[in-house]
Amino acid sequence: MANSNGSNQTRRASIHRLRRLDTCAVSDAMDQLKIRGAVTGLRAVSVMRRIAGRVVTVELAKANGTKPKRHLCTAAVDASGRGDVIVVAHGGRLDVAGWGGILSLGAWRRAIEGVVIDGACRDVDESVELDLPIYARATVPITARGRVVETSWNEPIRVGGLTVCPGDLVLADGSGVVFLPAAHAQAILDIAEQIDAREAAMAAAVRAGKPLAEVMNSSYEDLAGKQP
């Protein structure tokens, strides 16, 4: 039990640190460590608010006549809570929703931080009313019923060509979405915080009137180290 409590405390501390960063600083840190973490094409489709948390995964696929055992994403929502982000792999599918309003209500009731969908979602107005952040590739009114089934949850998935595992960390904001592998999260956070502090100092110098060319000199190009 002590080890479990220690692990939970570490995870909560990591999420707290992650919330104070933006995706750009984290992406720069991952560049320095030569770890791929950014997924392009995902954007906020409900409320524009930064979300950070532990990944809980769901994988969806075409129904092809298969009768689902349960409605998609419900098991993940029921098992999640504060500090968790539901991440749905739907292969970038845009012609049918992989998330909807009742799921958003359930996520809101569980105090889930937000949802990331590699595909489309619907009932966006309901998510806006709930103040639930959803990041997706598109919005569409077409239902998943009879078209989509859940093939797994809390298993490794692929999002935008990137492997994402349960327990990884995710950060999403106006610039995009980045996933931090659990095994490297502490190293990424350490470097990202250093980058964030340096950029804050640079911004302060610009506000104080220092010439931009002096602030953004050659050392800026080395801010995140050599690129992969």
Q: What type of residue is 226?
A: K
Residue whose entry in the numeric block shows the structure tokens 């524009």: 48
Q: Is residue 227 included in any domain, yes or no?
A: no
Would you say the C-alpha torsion 71, 52, 169, 226 has a positive or negative sign?
positive
- Considering the chain, what is the average pLDDT of its residues? 93
Q: Are 85 and 113 in contact (CB under 8 A)?
A: yes
What pLDDT score does 66 carry?
Answer: 82
Which residues on adjacent β-strands are paired with residue 114? 85
Within-domain flag for 46: yes
Residue 116 within any structural domain of the chain: yes
Tell me, what CATH number does 166's domain have?
3.50.30.40
C-beta contacts of 183-191 below 8 A and 24+ residues apart: 184/33, 184/35, 185/14, 186/14, 187/33, 188/26, 188/29, 188/30, 188/33, 188/35, 188/37, 189/14, 189/17, 189/18, 189/21, 189/29, 190/29, 191/28, 191/29, 191/32, 191/33
Judge whether residue 224 has pLDDT over 70. no
pTM (2 decimals)?
Answer: 0.92
Does a structural domain hold residue 206? no
**pLDDT tens profile 115-164:** 999 999 999 999 999 999 999 999 999 999 999 999 999 999 999 999 99
Residue 103 falls inside a structural domain: yes
**Domain hosting residue 115, numbered range:** 14-188
Residue 99 to residue 167: CA distance in whole angstroms: 21
* Count of the separate structural domains present in the chain: 1
